[in-house]
Amino acid sequence: MKELKYPFDVEYLIKNKKKIKRELLNKEGLIEKNIAILGGSTTSEIKNMLEIFLLNYGIKPTFYESEYNKYYEDAVFGNEELDNFKPDIIYIHTTNRNIMNYPTIVDDEDTINQMLETEYKKLEQIWEKLQEKFGAVIIQNNFEYPYYRLLGNKDVSDMHGRINFINRLNDKIYSYINNHNNIFINDINYLSSCYGLDKWANQFYWHMYKYALEVPAIPYLAFNIANIIKSIYGKNKKAFVLDLDNTLWGGIVGDDGVENLAIGPEVPSGQVYAEFQEYIKAHKNLGIILNVNSKNEHENAIAGLNHPAGILKPDDFIIIKANWNPKHMNIKDIAEELNLGADSFVFVDDNPAERHIVEETYEGIGVPEIDVPENYIRIIDHNGYFEMTNFSKEDIKKNELYKDNAKRSQMMATFENYDDYLKSLKMKAEISSFKPIYLERISQLSNKSNQFNLTTKRYSLADIEHVANSENYIKIYGKLEDIFGDNGVISVVIGHIKGKELHIDLWIMSCRVLKRNMEYAMMDELMRRAKEENITTVYGYYYPTLKNKMVKNFYEDQGFTLISEDDKGNKFYKQDVESYKNKNNVIEVEE
Amino acid sequence: MKREEIFERLNNVFRDVFDDESITVSEKTTSADIEDWDSLEHINLIVAVEQEFGIKFNMGEVTTMKNVGEMVNIIESRVK
């Protein structure tokens, strides 16, 4: 439900929670869970808010709520009602109001350590008793900071300070949690700092109603607890589905061109997108699958993702849908291809209209209301889509399976020879004379290819247009697709015709498709076209640069004959068209 | 803001908070007149009223308010 996403309209939630609850109860397939709230302060509104956030996640809670500040008694001494309730989850809502022993300036170190132990043991006793009795999952608050500092700045560094004491106490809680299963931290220390501690600790609510946080902060608390619970029950999101233009970079790649996109360190708007890409990319290691859903020519999308200053590269994505289909239709395809439900996706798009239709189409899909780029990370992050309660090493491995490169090398190991492997990739190439929609990409490739580039001749878009429209050139581009996806336009060859001679002015290929025999497929096609044009001899040139050593012996490898080499290493070759034999036998070529 | 207008807006807040479209508040309305108006709902009501009118009640005001009329008095004195 739209209203239950971060950031919240707190006023609306407080006023309409009953209405919201009624609506959510109509949802189908709710799973029922018993949740006990053991509070050290008033919890009524926490329960109400938690209920609607959980319903929104498809979890229907039945609550047990301890009497006011009876969390310790309920847990340690038991209570018939709680015993009969059989909780699945026990939430312990303690706050710094529940710390009984704080150090004072006159206490010595032993006394303070003793206090710390006393406060900690009280909690440990609660957890052990509850585990022993119920075997339920426990969610424990850490402690938030006090809203005043008796020792000023020293409060944090000196053992007599309350902030220092709370940090030490929290550390003890964490080390217990890190060494035990079925107990999770609810980080109210972080929540209160995001919210603003002075507001969070608004004392009006404590003195009036014994709420340890102000009531308008409760949706944030309840949402955080609900995120932990939904994660425990396997309802985390699993994949990002990302728009490109003005989402992963500033500008529109199809209109502005790759070189004009805002991404990278030069300008503030480029920095913000680069940082956002970093944030998204970091999710890969957490086992989150990245996908693209963009209204774009596929080539443009790939070109944008290959922007040298970009952090995310085409290989980071499992599925790239860059086409002109409606986005919600692409999501259906992505879901089918990944064999995941659309409700496990987080769809990130700067366009509110796209967000709206996707949200209306797929119940439960995560659609963060991102506004300006500098807020993207915060808004996505604070929605808690990927709460890591059950994170394990297996998650990392699981994601490896999705990774193309890992797949490729795994496959390689099982093949007798490299040709067999290449054949298994089911590569399909489109090799054809220049077409208008690719001219930008072709010009771009000629300007940024340095390694697999025989002559390092650069072509502006106007140059490429000239070549495209002239009869005096054979000019072909190659696109390569395999079982792992489409690589887009990755190779370009331009040769000028001089009577019965063809001179190869430009030969470039993207390093992404090295060692795939694409260069043979390109040469076969070049020779076929040369023959059509009644050319008898093709001449090749290699001009060395600092970066193109990898193609030093390119023409030798292609079977050309070396005619001359000067002292700078410039080499000049020729090849008879008549005696040329096709070399590609692993790529299926179409025009 | 006129007293009638405050009442009208207040009435909507009451209806939302208690999820009851039949509620009509008057000067003399107290918690005894509305079924769900207990101390726990009272806090939600206060928060909702504060947000509706963009004001903050202080503790003294909340503890001494005796009926809706007194609440309106305070609101009236805050919003001009």
Q: What's the rounded Cα separation, in Å, for the pair A424 and A412?
A: 9
Q: Which residue of chain B comes nearest to A17, CA vs CA?
A: B17
Residue-level pLDDT at A285: 86
Using CA atoms, how far residue A436 sits from A235, A372, A432, A440, in Å, is: 46, 34, 12, 8
Does the pLDDT at position A260 exceed 70? yes
- Mean pLDDT along residues A223-240: 94
| Residue A411 belongs to a domain | no
CB A325 within 8 A of CB A217: no
Same domain (yes/no): A331, A373: yes
Does the pLDDT at position A411 exceed 70? no
Q: Above 0.90 for ipTM, yes or no?
A: no
Q: Which of A19, A42, A215 sits opposite B47 (nearest CB)?
A: A215
Residue-level pLDDT at A449: 81
Q: Are strands A561-565 and A571-576 parallel, antiparallel or unpaired?
A: antiparallel
B43 chain-A contacts, CB cut-off 8 A? 45, 205, 208-209, 211, 215
| Residue A280 belongs to a domain | yes
Displacement of CA B77 from its chain's centroid (Å): 14
Cα angle at A532 between A530 and A533, to 5 degrees?
65
- Mean pLDDT along residues B55-63: 89
Cβ distance A14 to B62 less than 8 Å, yes or no, reads no
Least confident of A266-270, A394-398, A488-492: A394-398
Q: How many domains does chain A have?
A: 3
Does the pLDDT at position A406 exceed 50? no
Q: What is the CATH number of the domain that holds A60?
A: 3.40.50.1110
Q: What's the rounded Cα separation, in Å, for the pair A98 and A68?
A: 12
**First vs last C-alpha separation in chain A:** 48
| Residue A557 belongs to a domain | yes
Residue-level pLDDT at A398: 46
Same domain (yes/no): A210, A326: no
Q: Which residues, numbered 44 to 103 in chain A, qualify as contacts with chain B under a Cβ-Cβ cut-off of 8 Å?
A: 44-45
- Mean pLDDT along residues A25-46: 94
Same domain (yes/no): A43, A182: yes
Same domain (yes/no): A468, A568: yes
Cβ distance A209 to B59 less than 8 Å, yes or no, reads no
Q: Which residue of chain B comes nearest to A18, CA vs CA?
A: B19
Q: What is the pLDDT of residues A121-168, one digit of tens each?
A: 999 999 999 999 998 999 999 999 999 999 999 999 999 999 999 999
CB pairs under 8 A between A and B: 41
Query: Of A359, A374, A402, which marks where a domain is finished?
Result: A402
Q: What's the rounded Cα separation, in Å, for the pair B69 and B25?
A: 9
Does the pLDDT at position B80 exceed 90? no
Same domain (yes/no): A225, A243: no
Tell whether the torsion through CA atoms of A345, A351, A354 and A355 is positive or negative. Answer: positive
Predicted TM-score of the model (pTM):
0.70
Range of the domain at A389: 239-402
Taken in order of first residue, the domains within chain B and their CATH numbers are: 3-78 (1.10.1200.10)
| Residue A412 belongs to a domain | no
Nearest-neighbour CA in chain A from B28: distance (Å): 22
The number of residues making up chain B comes to 80
- Mean pLDDT along residues A27-53: 95
Cβ distance A215 to B52 less than 8 Å, yes or no, reads no
Same domain (yes/no): A437, A386: no
Nearest-neighbour CA in chain B from A243: distance (Å): 36
Would you call B47 an interface residue with chain A, using a CB distance cutoff of 8 Å? yes
A14 chain-B contacts, CB cut-off 8 A? 17, 44, 47-48, 51
Residue in this structure with the two tokens 């010009």, named with its chain if needed: A443
Would you call A16 an interface residue with chain B, using a CB distance cutoff of 8 Å? yes
A207 chain-B contacts, CB cut-off 8 A? 59
Would you call A8 an interface residue with chain B, using a CB distance cutoff of 8 Å? no
Q: Which of B47, B59, B63 sits opposite A14 (nearest CB)?
A: B47
Cβ distance B44 to A45 less than 8 Å, yes or no, reads yes
Same domain (yes/no): A397, A437: no
* SS3 of A267-321: CHHHHHHHHHHHHHHHHHHHCCEEEEEEECCHHHHHHHHCCCCCCCCHHHCCEEE
Query: Mutate which of B15, B41, B51 to disrupt the A interface (most A C-beta within 10 Å)?
Result: B51
Q: What is the pLDDT of residues A521-541, one digit of tens each?
A: 999 999 999 999 999 999 999
Q: What is the pLDDT of residues A68-108, one digit of tens each?
A: 889 999 998 888 999 999 999 999 999 999 999 999 999 99
Same domain (yes/no): A550, A423: yes
Same domain (yes/no): A344, A250: yes
Nearest-neighbour CA in chain B from A195: distance (Å): 17
| Residue A141 belongs to a domain | yes
Same domain (yes/no): A342, A212: no
Q: Tell me what the pLDDT averaged over chain A comes to.
A: 91
Cβ distance B58 to A204 less than 8 Å, yes or no, reads yes
| Residue A167 belongs to a domain | yes
- For A404-456, the DSSP string reads HHHHHHHHHHT-SSHHHHHHHTTEEEEEEE--GGGHHHHHHHHHH--SSBSS-
| Residue A409 belongs to a domain | no
- Mean pLDDT along residues A437-448: 85
| Residue A413 belongs to a domain | no
Nearest-neighbour CA in chain A from B51: distance (Å): 6
Same domain (yes/no): A322, A190: no
Same domain (yes/no): A228, A310: no
A22 chain-B contacts, CB cut-off 8 A? 19
Long-range contacts of A458-462 (CB under 8 A, 24+ apart): A459/A494, A459/A506
Q: What is the CATH number of the domain that holds A289?
A: 3.40.50.1000
Q: What is the CATH number of the domain that holds A423?
A: 3.40.630.30
Cβ distance B19 to A19 less than 8 Å, yes or no, reads yes
Cβ distance A15 to B43 less than 8 Å, yes or no, reads no
Would you call A199 an interface residue with chain B, using a CB distance cutoff of 8 Å? no
Element (H or E) spanning A503, and its range? strand A501-509
CB A55 within 8 A of CB A3: no
Residue A392: pLDDT band with limits 50, 70, 90: low
* CA neighbor of A244 nearest in space, from A312, A343, A325, A332: A312
Cβ distance B48 to A19 less than 8 Å, yes or no, reads no
Cα angle at A246 between A242 and A247, to 5 degrees?
25
Beta bridge partners of A166: none
Query: Of A180, A213, A232, which marks where a domain is finished?
Result: A232
Query: Of A371, A402, A433, which marks where a domain is finished?
Result: A402
Beta bridge partners of A501: A498, A537
Element (H or E) spanning A63, and its range? strand A59-65
